[in-house]
Amino acid sequence: MKRSLTVLVLGSLCVVSTALATTYMRVEKDGTKTYSDRPIPGGTVVELKPAQSYSSPPSSGTSTLAREEPDNEFRYQSCTVTPENDSTFTNPEIVSIALSTNPAVRPFDTVIMKVDGQTVGQPGTISWTLQAPIDRGTHTVSVTITDRGGVTMCSVNSSFHVMRPSVNSPGPNRPPRPNVPRPMPH
């Protein structure tokens, strides 16, 4: 036990003495530099500055990043989505969906847009384009805006209808073709 304690103390002293050792430098004839922890002929002592360190300020438990804090009194004056409720599209190639708010969506609020119950785009998406083929029938759009605390700040829904007439359904009313007499062969 006494021997291992002695080895431990001597080892610690060696580490400390190495850390505090003087460094010597000599410039050779070809311009290269030679460094040593022992004096070398023609060498000079190198003054080493202490290593740069950093101590963080005490933690207060909150982030020091400047953020806009939510306002408990804030409300969106209006929150609408297009297409308007009960809009009808016949054979559409695209249907554009867009959220409009007054005032504009705050940067720390989260927008979730869903079409037929499926989230479209990334959180924050305020417009989306459905492209052909768009199935016939009724489609629903829902948009929810929540603040950082998860409180719903705005929620809006809309339904639109897509019609795709088939060859079996009657087409638009067209005037009948006039009877034009045909020439008789001779």
Domain membership of residue 94 (yes or no) is: yes
Residue 60 CA to residue 63 CA, distance in Å, equals: 8
Same domain for 38 and 112: no
Domain membership of residue 180 (yes or no) is: no
Same domain for 37 and 94: no
Residue 63 CA to residue 55 CA, distance in Å, equals: 17
* Confidence (pLDDT) at 64: 39
- Where does residue 136 rank: exposed (0-12), middle (13-18), buried (19+ CB within 10 A)? middle
Residues in contact with 67: Cβ distance below 8 Å, sequence separation at least 6, in sequence order: 108
* Confidence (pLDDT) at 37: 87
* Confidence (pLDDT) at 67: 47
Domain membership of residue 101 (yes or no) is: yes
Mean pLDDT by 10 residues, the chain (186 residues): 55 52 86 86 82 67 46 84 93 92 92 93 89 90 92 93 73 61 72
Q: How many domains does the chain have?
A: 2
Domain membership of residue 157 (yes or no) is: yes
Q: What is the 3-state secondary structure (H, E, C) of the chain?
A: CHHHHHHHHHHHHHHHHHHCCCEEEEECCCCCEEEECCCCCCCEEECCCCCCCCCCCCCCCCCCCCCCCCCCCCCCCEEEEECCCCEEEECCCEEEEEEEEECCCCCCCEEEEEECCEECCCCCCCEEEEECCCCCEEEEEEEEEECCCCCEEEEEEEEEEEECCCCCCCCCCCCCCCCCCCCCCC
Question: Of the candidates 133, 128, 137, which has an alpha carbon nearest to the alpha carbon of residue 159?
Answer: 137
* Confidence (pLDDT) at 16: 47
Q: What is the pLDDT of residues 71-91, one digit of tens each?
A: 668 889 999 999 999 999 998
Same domain for 85 and 40: no
- Cβ atoms 96, 82 nearer than 8 A: yes
Give the CATH number for residue 131: 2.60.40.10
Domain membership of residue 100 (yes or no) is: yes
| Structural domain boundaries, residue 156 | 78-163
Domain membership of residue 181 (yes or no) is: no
Domain membership of residue 177 (yes or no) is: no
Residue 40 CA to residue 24 CA, distance in Å, equals: 7
Same domain for 32 and 84: no
* Confidence (pLDDT) at 88: 93
Same domain for 84 and 16: no
Residue 29 CA to residue 138 CA, distance in Å, equals: 88
CA angle 8, 10, 11 (to 5 degrees): 65
